[in-house]
């Protein structure tokens, strides 16, 4: 039987046809971006956008400010924020409506889980004592 399979494979190759062989990688492995050997993306210098799902939220990072929005506050609330370097990332901290907000953005491939978009940075927003995961991209 093995000889017959080998002969069939060789015969198809000789005719210029490729045998129908199932891929060995899992769908999850195929979905991951391939390493390109390039260095980690550098943090954006000006403004960028951070998005999270379940629950939906967004933060626009502007020089010296953050603008937080969610489905209940589509227009968003802008407030002053300080920036500090932490390892390879940047932490933004501020107070919105009397509530402490912290946003940590770091280089790293990120998927929002809702689309096929791959983002170059990961993010964690701490609000109301809750840690919300998100992704970030340059605006």
> How far apart are alpha carbons 126 and 88 in whole angstroms?
19
As given in the structure block, the two tokens for residue 47 are: 């403004």
At 38 the pLDDT is 38
At 113 the pLDDT is 83
As given in the structure block, the two tokens for residue 98 are: 């009397």
> How far apart are alpha carbons 108 and 119 in whole angstroms?
8
**Per-residue pLDDT in tens (0 to 9) along the chain, 139 residues:** 333 333 333 333 333 443 333 333 333 333 333 333 334 455 555 688 999 988 899 999 999 999 999 999 999 999 999 999 999 999 999 999 999 999 999 999 999 888 889 999 999 999 988 999 999 999 8
At 42 the pLDDT is 53
At 10 the pLDDT is 34
């Amino acid at each position: 039987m093995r000889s017959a399979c080998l002969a069939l494979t060789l015969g198809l190759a000789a005719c210029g046809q490729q045998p129908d062989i199932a891929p060995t990688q899992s769908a999850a492995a195929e979905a991951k971006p391939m390493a390109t050997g390039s260095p980690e993306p550098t943090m954006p210098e000006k403004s960028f956008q951070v998005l999270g799902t379940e629950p939906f939220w967004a933060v626009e990072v502007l020089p010296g400010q953050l603008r937080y929005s969610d489905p209940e506050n589509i227009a968003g609330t802008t407030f002053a924020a300080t920036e500090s370097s932490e390892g390879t990332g940047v932490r933004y901290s501020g107070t919105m409506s009397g509530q402490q907000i912290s946003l940590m953005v770091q280089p790293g491939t990120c998927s929002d889980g809702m689309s096929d978009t791959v983002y170059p940075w990961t993010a964690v927003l701490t609000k109301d004592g809750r840690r919300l995961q998100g992704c970030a991209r340059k605006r």
